[in-house]
Amino acid sequence: MVAEELINEMIPALTLKDNAEKAIFWMEELHTKFLPVIDQSHFKGFISEEAIFENNVIENEISNIKLVGENCYLHKDRHFFEAIKLLRENSIDMAAVIDDSENYQGVITVDDIIRAFSQITAIQSPGGILVISVRQIDYTLAEIVRLVEENDSKVLSTYLKNDPQDESNILVTLKINTTDLTRIIATLERFGYNIVARFQEAPDKISNLERLDLLMKYINI
């Protein structure tokens, strides 16, 4: 799934000539702390609620307020995983999308990304997450699934990625239908599997950036 497919049509872009009052109005309407700013179709960055309040002049044009996330954008044909890294690096809950001519196309929000990711995985199903490092030549999904199922659990989804710490290994991320991973971890370790990380369900009431952290840990990027 590429960035262009996830553009959120509900998020308006402001211009440098718009004032802070307009920005605050839209932020309240959309329940966001950031909005994209463009200048003649070119992305300039995001105006933040915090910057507006620090400026303390609601009539000020956006051009007089410091923007953030000037580099928080990706091209429309890029995989949406790249947006996840951008959002976390910039501590912003949306990323701009541009075309080949660097014209602004729209934004992708954290919610858009999580919704898209949930369509291709079982991340929204109750359960826990394990990340295992295993030698590529030794990797057998059927064996891992068998060991999980021996503990009366099911593997809901898997995700593979090269291990940045060891080129001969891969990282196997498992979504499992239980939050108590103790017995499963013990079984896997007994058979020589290296457990890199474990994550259990997050509370419902967490911030967008905390949700983004959980997603990054899930896909281990």
Rounded to 10°, the helix 110-120/81-90 angle is: 150
Residues 54 and 66 in one domain: yes
C-beta separation of 173 from 214 below 8 A: no
The pLDDT value given to residue 203: 45
Is a pLDDT exceeding 80 seen at residue 218? no
Q: Which amino acid does the sequence have at 32? A: T
Total domains present in the chain: 2
User: pLDDT of 108-164, one tens digit each?
Assistant: 998 888 777 666 555 556 788 888 989 999 999 999 999 999 999 999 888 888 887
Mean pLDDT score, 185-198:
91
Mean pLDDT score, 56-65:
90
Residues 34 and 74 in one domain: yes
Q: For residue 38, tell me if it sits in a domain.
A: yes
**Domain end residue (candidates: 118, 144, 170):** 118
> 85: which 2 tokens?
């890294």
Q: What stretches of the chain adopt beta strand conformation (E)?
A: 14-15, 34-39, 42-48, 73-75, 94-98, 104-109, 128-135, 155-162, 169-176, 194-199
Residues 137 and 194 in one domain: yes
> Average pLDDT of the chain?
86
C-beta separation of 177 from 154 below 8 A: yes
Mean pLDDT score, 105-109:
96
Mean pLDDT score, 167-179:
88
The pLDDT value given to residue 32: 93
* Structural domain range at position 85: 3-118
Residues 91 and 129 in one domain: no
Q: 79: how many CB neighbours lie within 10 A of its CB? A: 11
Is a pLDDT exceeding 90 seen at residue 41? yes
